[in-house]
């Protein structure tokens, strides 16, 4: 059964009557069935308290025969009642067609065989993420490399700490590996960010995310020496207050970065614990009783690991998180996947829930995971994760250019693989099928970050970078733009890619790429379907992906191609009005649209009923 012929359901508002149900509620769920599928019976299967339960669906005559979302007037709609018995209520659909054949519809697609429950749809009754976060477009800033404020002293006249290696903003190349990597210091500060908020807002971002701002002994500051003040090198507490005030005055939001798994070896908690075996802080870390050695993140001794079994860690860390919400609107939690985990100890889910309860309901809370976050989502903890597995890795593999030289693929040995569109689609769908719609849309879709190569370097061309950007903007999830990628900056690994912004280097600014970022991010802001619509895959080949973002008023048709190929014909029973890089398309006499096959290209149309 081709994708376009498959029945469809997802967790968006078009398919579930209440995306934020309470325990004990009964919600309505809908399935959209193309007429060609000839379905004659449909049941929803849930597993309340672990026991399978089937409820018969009925035809929805109000939707059947109408062009719901601007297309598909010939589709048949079924609806069923679903009781939300558990905090996470899993459900799937059992369908029988005219020939008597039966199959399952899950978040992973259509299956004609029995399969485990891990790809079932999910109705989540836990408290919802903040309403504003569904409309967020994040802009990540590595403070040392974004901007030096107009009043900043030259580094030669600044009292720098002994670890800092001063570097010239526009002349010195960034060290990507070896001695000096963590010590090179370009001197960006928080007031410099405040002075460039016009750029961020004009780009289309509405949420600024800062990597750590606490004092440390590195330029990345993930080795905090205290959580009680902002690094004076960034301007101190007063500079953060000015930045927060300026961000909020624009109706924007500010997100902080916290290391919940570890602190720095120079941190006041650790120095006391290390020097005094009787100190109360000793229980906050993992010390070997015999040798006095301590556990550190991945063996890096500058990053001693926090022991979340300690009540003192829980008390102090939650106090830190609450205190800085005087300025921040939420947190990105570093190494969330390891927080609370060590050997036989696994407090990770308990810790995530503890942190969530400690914060107000309107605070964003997203965990860093470099790999599979699905087991840590859909609990009363992280609202979402940094979606490296379900978005970044498949996009990189699909749009990878020809240049060699990547040391690893997000920790996987060897170069970035080159994979076709079917593999990229399978990866995206495999991740999305194992979390709720809520967790999917509140996870961050990332093309690059301070921990990765730049997307321009990965794709090898401006054209493919813009296809990647189009996927980031039009697929479900929260887009996160890494500062500088809008100018087409390059970099072969995370450290090398931390390039100072080219405010005074016009030769390093790709103005056409900047204009495309503004247009595509503006499209996301203008089109509710891209922020709140469902996702229906229609057509996937080696070089092309086509999908719909469905919304009740209208749906957007998206076609992404990494290279030139054959035209794509789809029978949707609609006309397509060009929205981005696309001309209007009229259906033929059978309701079929023909999408152009040239590429690399990203095109978007709005579906409308035929005239």
Residues annotated as catalytic (active site), given as ranges: 334, 368
DSSP summary character for residue 338: T
Radius of gyration of the chain (CA): 25
What's the residue count for the chain? Answer: 611
Q: Is 360 helix (H, G, I), strand (E, B) or coil?
A: coil
| Contact between 477 and 535 (Cβ < 8 Å) | no
In 161-228, DSSP assigns E strands to 165-166, 184-185, 207-210
Distant-in-sequence, close-in-space partners of 554: CB < 8 Å, separation ≥ 6: 69, 70, 529, 606, 607, 608
Distance CA 137, CA 480 (A): 6
Which single residue is written with the structure tokens 């930045």?
243
Distance CA 22, CA 530 (A): 26
Cis peptide before 600 (omega within 30 of 0): yes
Beta bridge partners of 594: 569
Which single residue is written with the structure tokens 């309403």?
131
Whole-Å CA distances, 348 to 177, 270, 294, 355, 459: 32, 21, 20, 11, 36
How many CB atoms lie under 10 A from the CB of residue 99? Answer: 8
* Strands, sheet with 478-482, edge to edge from the N-terminal-most edge strand: 384-385, 364-367, 330-334, 253-259, 207-210, 138-141, 478-482, 444-446
| Beta-strand pair 330-334/253-259 | parallel
Distance CA 60, CA 307 (A): 54
Whole-Å CA distances, 401 to 265, 392, 404, 414: 40, 15, 8, 15
Burial class (CB in 10 A: 0-12, 13-18, 19+), 507: exposed
Provide the phi-psi class of 147: left if phi over 0, else alpha when psi is between -120 and 50, else beta: beta
Whole-Å CA distances, 526 to 139, 251, 474, 539: 18, 17, 12, 25
Which single residue is written with the structure tokens 């504003």?
132
Distant-in-sequence, close-in-space partners of 286: CB < 8 Å, separation ≥ 6: 294, 295, 305, 307, 342
CA triple 260-331-193, angle to 5 deg? 115
Q: Is 88 helix (H, G, I), strand (E, B) or coil?
A: strand
């Amino acid at each position: 059964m081709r994708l376009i012929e498959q029945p469809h359901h997802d967790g968006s508002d078009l398919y579930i009557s209440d995306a934020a149900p309470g325990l004990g509620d009964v919600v309505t769920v809908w399935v959209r069935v193309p007429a060609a599928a000839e379905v004659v019976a449909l049941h929803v299967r849930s597993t309340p308290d672990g026991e399978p339960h089937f409820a018969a669906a009925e035809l929805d005559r109000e939707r059947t025969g109408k062009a719901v979302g601007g297309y598909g007037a010939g589709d048949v709609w079924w609806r069923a009642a679903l009781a939300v018995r558990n905090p996470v209520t899993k459900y799937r659909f059992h369908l029988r067609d005219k020939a008597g054949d039966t199959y399952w519809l899950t978040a992973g697609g259509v299956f004609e065989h029995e399969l485990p429950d891990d790809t079932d749809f999910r109705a989540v009754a836990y408290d919802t993420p903040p309403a504003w976060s569904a409309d967020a477009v994040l802009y990540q800033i590595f403070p040392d490399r974004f901007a030096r404020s107009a009043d900043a002293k030259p580094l030669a006249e600044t009292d720098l700490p002994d670890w800092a290696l001063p570097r010239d903003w526009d002349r010195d190349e960034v060290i990507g590996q070896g001695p000096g990597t963590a010590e090179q210091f370009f001197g960006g500060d928080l007031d410099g960010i405040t002075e460039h908020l016009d750029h961020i807002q004009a780009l289309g971002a509405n949420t600024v995310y800062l990597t750590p701002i606490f004092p440390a002994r590195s330029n990345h500051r993930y080795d905090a020496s205290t959580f009680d003040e902002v690094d004076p090198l960034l301007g101190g507490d007063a500079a953060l207050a000015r930045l927060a005030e300026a961000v909020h005055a624009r109706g924007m939001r500010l997100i902080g970065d916290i290391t919940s798994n570890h602190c720095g070896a120079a941190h006041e908690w650790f120095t006391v614990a290390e020097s005094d075996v009787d100190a109360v802080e000793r229980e906050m870390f993992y010390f070997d009783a015999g040798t006095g050695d301590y556990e550190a993140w991945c063996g890096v001794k500058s990053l001693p690991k926090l022991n979340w079994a300690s009540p003192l860690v829980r008390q102090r860390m939650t106090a830190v998180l609450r205190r800085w919400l005087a300025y921040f609107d939420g947190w990105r939690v570093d190494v969330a996947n390891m927080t609370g985990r060590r050997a036989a100890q696994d407090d990770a889910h308990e810790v995530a829930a503890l942190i969530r309860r400690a914060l107000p309901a309107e605070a964003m809370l997203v965990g860093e995971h470099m790999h599979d976050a699905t087991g840590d989502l859909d609990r009363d903890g992280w609202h979402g994760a940094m979606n490296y597995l379900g978005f970044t890795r498949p996009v990189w593999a699909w749009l990878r250019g020809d240049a060699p030289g990547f040391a690893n693929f997000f920790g996987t040995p060897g170069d970035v693989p080159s994979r076709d569109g079917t593999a990229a689609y399978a990866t995206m769908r495999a991740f999305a099928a194992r979390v709720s719609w809520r967790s999917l849309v509140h996870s961050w879709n990332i093309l690059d970050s301070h921990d990765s190569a730049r997307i321009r370097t990965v794709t090898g061309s401006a054209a493919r970078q813009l296809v990647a950007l189009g996927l980031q903007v039009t697929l479900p999830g929260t887009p996160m733009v890494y500062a500088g990628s809008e100018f087409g900056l390059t970099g072969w690994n995370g450290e090398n890619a931390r390039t100072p912004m080219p405010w005074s280097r016009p030769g390093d600014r790709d103005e056409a790429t900047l204009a495309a970022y503004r247009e595509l991010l503006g499209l996301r802001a203008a089109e509710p379907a891209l922020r709140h619509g469902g996702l229906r895959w229609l057509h996937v080949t080696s070089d092309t992906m086509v999908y719909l973002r469905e919304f009740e008023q209208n749906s957007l048709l998206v076609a992404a191609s990494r290279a030139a190929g054959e035209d794509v014909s789809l029978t949707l029973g609609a006309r397509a009005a060009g929205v981005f890089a696309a001309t209007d398309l009229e259906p033929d006499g059978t309701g079929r649209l023909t999408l152009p096959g040239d590429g690399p290209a990203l095109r978007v149309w709005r579906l409308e009923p035929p005239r």
